[in-house]
Amino acid sequence: MGKATVGVKAGIVSGVVYGAVTALTTYLTLFFMREQTIAIIASYLTPNSPVTAEQAYRSALVTGPISAIIIGIVLGLVVGAIYGSIYERIPGGTAVPKGILLSIGVWLIFCALEFTLGIEITPTSAVVGFGKIGYGAEYYAVSFTSGLVAWLIYGVLLGTFYNRFASAVSA
């Protein structure tokens, strides 16, 4: 049986990096899709709102990346605990392929939830409410690609750190 505590440690460290990657992609997505994001925010504001769409956008530029880091750490902890608990049952031979396989599975689950059911999971989606309206293929392409890259990095790091922390425990 795997070691959940080793998985948690590896997951948290990997989650910090995952959070940093998603923080960067969240910021860049919001920055480069500025006009579209402001229009989406404006559609949610009431006529007597105390903040303007521009003010809310500037706030999203700060809170989006911060929430990405927090979400990365929390997801890292949860996925790491699962990884450590089911390590022996994950196909793949060694820790890194097992980490990649699990991270791809998590990414696929999140894609299904976000794109099929409209549940907003990614920091960019959660900040601007992208899941509730049609906003185009551009965001989906960016979200799909950056999410996959971030989860692959997470999986490699999860396996690497799991090996490192497991050998430290057994030594």
| DSSP string covering 21-47 | HHHHHHHHHHHHTHHHHHHHHHHHS-T
CA triplet 72, 37, 124: central angle to 5 degrees? 10
Instruction: Using CA atoms of 91, 97, 100, 106 in order, give the dihedral in degrees to the nearest 10.
Output: 10
Q: What is the mean pLDDT of residues 144-166?
A: 94
Q: pLDDT category, 18, cuts 50, 70, 90?
A: very high
- Return the number of other C-beta atoms located less than 10 Å from residue 148's C-beta: 15
Question: Average pLDDT over the chain, rounded to whole?
Answer: 86
**Percent of the chain having pLDDT more than 90?**
61
Q: What is the mean pLDDT of residues 100-109?
A: 94
Considering 110-119, 128-137, 160-169, the range whose residues carry the highest mean pLDDT is 160-169
Angstrom distances, CA of residue 154 to CA of 37, 65, 78: 28, 17, 13
Question: How far is Cα 84 from Cα 5, in angstroms, rounded to an integer?
Answer: 7
**Percent of the chain having pLDDT more than 70?**
84
Structure tokens at 39: 């229009």
Closest by CA position to 83, among listed 107, 100, 68: 100
